[in-house]
Amino acid sequence: MNIEVKNKNEIYEIPLCSIIQLCGENIKKKEFICYSLEKYFSLSKYMAWEDKYKDNIRINGQEVGRQYFKSVVISSREDLIKILKISKTSMMTKYVEQCYMKFDFQVILEQISDMLDRIFISMNNEIKSIIGDFELDYQKNSMINILLSSQLFGGDENPLESLSNRELFMGGISLLAEMQKTNPQKILLIVKNVDHLLDFEEYCGPMSRFSTS
């Protein structure tokens, strides 16, 4: 199978393998290919200046929907940190939510809720005795927010920013692979200028686990 990327009158054919590396010195051409793939499978709206990228992707000459792949792009350390940090849209946040649903935390959370109820009852009795008919309350259905307000660290509580490129890359790749187990979908992972992130030995290690998939 080949992915075909059209650029005006030219068509770039790329074999659809587990791992593809675009080499050579034609940086402009590589950027066009990578951005075309990233944009098409991102489902984001094309801007007026992006006409040359619009609907220029084929697989074996056939049109494919924009949901055929989900594109994930890594171009810097910052992109890796964004994947691993807990934020509103990060992959790590989705993983934490999956863990929350997967494991039987309900009994533990009910116990925490009972303890919080006792704390609030005691505090509200104190408040009413001092300042009158007022009380504190909290949303009992927001227990997941306790988990999502946490932070992810490396070993020995080292901040993500202090980790090596290899540690961040391996963490991001492993997280992506784990997410695939519970939500299987075709992922197009685009790593731009990987030689700026990893040296040769570091690159061969993580990539070898996907070379036969």
Radius of gyration of the chain measured on its C-alpha atoms: 24
CA angle 172, 173, 176 (to 5 degrees): 85
Indicate the pTM of the whole model.
0.78
Alpha helix positions (H), the chain:
27-40, 77-84, 91-102, 106-131, 144-148, 165-182, 200-208
CA atoms within 13 A on the CB side of 213: 13
Burial 183-201 (b: 16+ CB within 10 A, else e): eeeeebebbbebeebbeee
Per residue of the chain (213 residues), what is the pLDDT tens digit?
899 999 988 999 999 888 888 888 888 999 999 999 999 999 899 999 999 999 899 999 999 999 999 899 999 999 999 999 998 888 999 898 888 877 777 678 778 888 989 999 999 999 999 998 999 887 766 667 777 888 899 988 899 999 999 999 999 989 998 888 888 888 899 999 888 888 888 887 655 555 433
The whole-angstrom separation of Cα 40 and Cα 65 is: 9
- pLDDT of 83: 93
Question: Do 160 and 81 meet the contact criterion of CB atoms below 8 Å apart?
Answer: yes
- pLDDT of 207: 57
What is the arrangement of strands in the sheet containing 57-59, beginning at the earlier edge strand?
A: 10-15, 2-7, 57-59
- pLDDT of 52: 92
Q: Which residues contact 156 (CB under 8 A, 6 or more apart)?
A: none
- pLDDT of 208: 55
The whole-angstrom separation of Cα 70 and Cα 82 is: 17
Q: Which residues pair with 12 in a beta bridge?
A: 5
